[in-house]
Amino acid sequence: MARLVLLVVFGVLGLTAIACSSAKPTPVPISSPAVHVVTTIYPAVYFTQRVGGDRIRLTSIVPTGAHAHDFEPRPSDLAAISKADLVVYVSEFFETWMSRALESAGSSVMAVEAAHIEDEHGTTGEKDGHGHGHDQADPHVWLNPHEAIEMVERIRDALIEVDPEGRDTFEANADSLIAELESLESRMSQALEGCRIKTAVVSHEAYGHLLEDFGVEQAGLSGLEAEEAASPATIARIVDLMREQGIRHVLAEPVVNEKLVAQIAETVGATVLPLHPLEYLTSAEAAAGSTYFTIMDRNLESLQTALDCP
C-alpha cells in the first residue's frame, strides 16, 4: 500500500512539474471552432462562412427573411456582439444601426466593414439611422462580382488578423470563392453583351452595381427602399417608358410590390421575371439550399431575357 501511495504522489508531482514548466505545450487539435464571428445580412453571412469554414463559429443576428432596413438589435444581439471575436457587416450605408450597436455593446470587439461605399460626396460612414442615408448611396455592391471579390478579401484579412494560425485555411477558402466570383463575372460579361434593351424596369432600384458594367440603366417603381410606395407619377413614367422602348418585362424581387408589378405588367402586356437583390434569403429559399451563386445565375437568366440579349 505504501508503495502505491508513493507512486500516486510522484505521479501528481510529475504532472505538476509539467504544468509549471516554461516549455510550450504541444498544440492539441480543438474539436470546436476557435473564432466566434457575428454577422448581419446574407452576403456577409455567406462570404464569411465560405472564407472561415470550419475554423469559425458564425452567428447571424439578422433573422432569415428579415430586411436590414427594419432591423433593430435586441439585447441578446448586443450580448452576442460583445462576446464576438469579430463582427462582419456590409456597410454603414446599409446596416445603419451598426455603430450604435457596437457602442451599446460596450465592447472592444474587432469589426470589419466589408464594403467600402462612397456617397456622391466621396464620403463614407454612418447615416441617419434610417434607410440608406441622406445621400442615398447604393449599398448593394455584392451584386457586382468584382466588388464582391473586394468584400471577400477584406473578410479574409480580418479573419487572419483575429486568427493568424488559420491563415492558410482562410487564404485557400478565399481563393476558391474568388475563383467562383471571377467565373460568374465572366459569364455575365458574355451573356449581357450586345443586348437590345438598355433599361431594366425593376421593382426597386437596388441593381445599379449589378448593371453598371453593361451600360444598362434601371428604372424602379421605388428607390433604394424596397418598401417605398410608388407615386402615380412614377407609375405613369414607367408605363410610358416601357411602351416607348418596347420593354416587355418587369424584373421583381420576392414579396415586394407584387400587386403593383402585376398591374403594370398587365397594363403594357409584359411578363414579370424574378430578380433577387440578395439582401436576404426567404425561409423557403434557405430550406431549398439556395445560395449566392444559384440565385445570381437565376438573376442572369432573367436579365438576358428582359434585356433581349443575343
- Over residues 26-74, the pLDDT tens digits come to 333 444 678 999 999 999 999 999 999 999 999 999 988 777 767 889 9
What residue spans in the chain does CATH classification 3.40.50.1980 cover? 35-188, 194-306
In the predicted model, is pLDDT for residue 232 greater than 60?
Answer: yes
Strand, helix or coil for residue 275:
coil
**123 CB neighbour count, 10 Å cutoff:** 10
- Would you say 176 and 110 are in contact if contact means Cβ atoms under 8 Å apart? no
Q: Which pTM does this prediction carry?
A: 0.84
pLDDT tens readout for residues 275-310: 999 999 988 999 999 999 999 999 999 999 999 999
- What would the pLDDT profile of 110-161 be if each residue is shown by its tens digit? 999 999 887 543 434 443 333 444 346 889 999 999 999 999 999 999 999 9
Residue 90 makes CB contacts below 8 A (sequence gap 6+) with 40, 41, 43, 44, 113, 114, 115, 139, 141, 142, 151
- Per-residue b or e along 239-273, where b marks 16 or more CB atoms closer than 10 Å to that residue's CB: beebeeeebbbbbbbbebbeebbeebbeebebebb
> Is 194-306 a CATH 3.40.50.2000 domain?
no
What letter represents residue 170's amino acid? F
Fold (topology level) of 35-188: Rossmann fold (3.40.50)
Distance CA 197, CA 167 (A): 45
At 269, the amino acid letter reads G
For 81, the enclosing helix (H) or strand (E) is: helix 75-83
For helices 98-105 and 75-83, give the axis angle rounded to 10 degrees. 70
Separation of CA 11 from chain center = 54
